[in-house]
Chain A
Amino acid sequence: DAKTTQPPSMDCAEGRAANLPCNHSTISGNEYVYWYRQIHSQGPQYIIHGLKNNETNEMASLIITEDRKSSTLILPHATLRDTAVYYCIGGRIGSSNTGKLIFGQGTTLQVKP
């Protein structure tokens, strides 16, 4: 599984876009990029995932560079409830896929009023 690198912490003003970067230079061709977040004292929550193309859902947008060595999670209008630890994870697909995800230490996003 690809090793990912994220900044340990970031701040964002409420109502502004939060852009969370992730480096995954060793990602292989059959690995997706997954993003989860964990609000204090809760279990992790799935946000979004992608392979090559940019993805958008009701929670966020995921921008993956053409070489797939990095990605950015975008929360378009951050709210105080988006304060959480955000994890970027490389996960394999295919017949041997166990679905197991290896979490790093993530980025602590603090949304400030």
Chain B
Amino acid sequence: DTGVSQNPRHKITKRGQNVTFRCDPISEHNRLYWYRQTLGQGPEFLTYFQNEAQLEKSRLLSDRFSAERPKGSFSTLEIQRTEQGDSAMYLCASSRRGLADTLKGTGELFFGEGSRLTVL
């Protein structure tokens, strides 16, 4: 399967612990996005990379959150000193940005299955 892969799928942790999620995008995709989704709500944008550059961060991304994409391939999202309010599904998506995309506006994001975080 060559879709977006996220690990771990489920993580239960105690408040105050650090957690890290990994996302492996579709190999030829140069854009990568992180979203967070709480129960009953739509996904909320957190941050976005084009290749290895982090180009946009939401105000939702507090200083306890850090995302990296060191070689422009996989990405990690780390949450330090977790709080119960961090409990959510963390979704990763990737897409391909090219000149043609700006003309066609493909806008097709390919999402992974998500990593569900439960903070006790």
Contact = CB atoms under 8 A, between A and B. Distances in A.
Given A44-B43, A99-B33, A34 B107 contact: yes
Interface string A31-42: 010101000011
Given A43-B113, A99-B48, A100-B33, A106 B42 contact: yes
B26 interface: no
Among A44, A91, A94, the most chain B Cβ lie within 10 Å of the Cβ of A44
Interface residues of B, number: 31
15 contacts: A43-B93, A44-B43, A46-B108, A49-B106, A49-B107, A51-B105, A93-B103, A97-B101, A97-B105, A98-B55, A100-B45, A100-B56, A103-B35, A105-B42, A106-B42
Interface in A48-106: 49, 51, 85, 87, 91-95, 97-106
A98 B107 contact: no
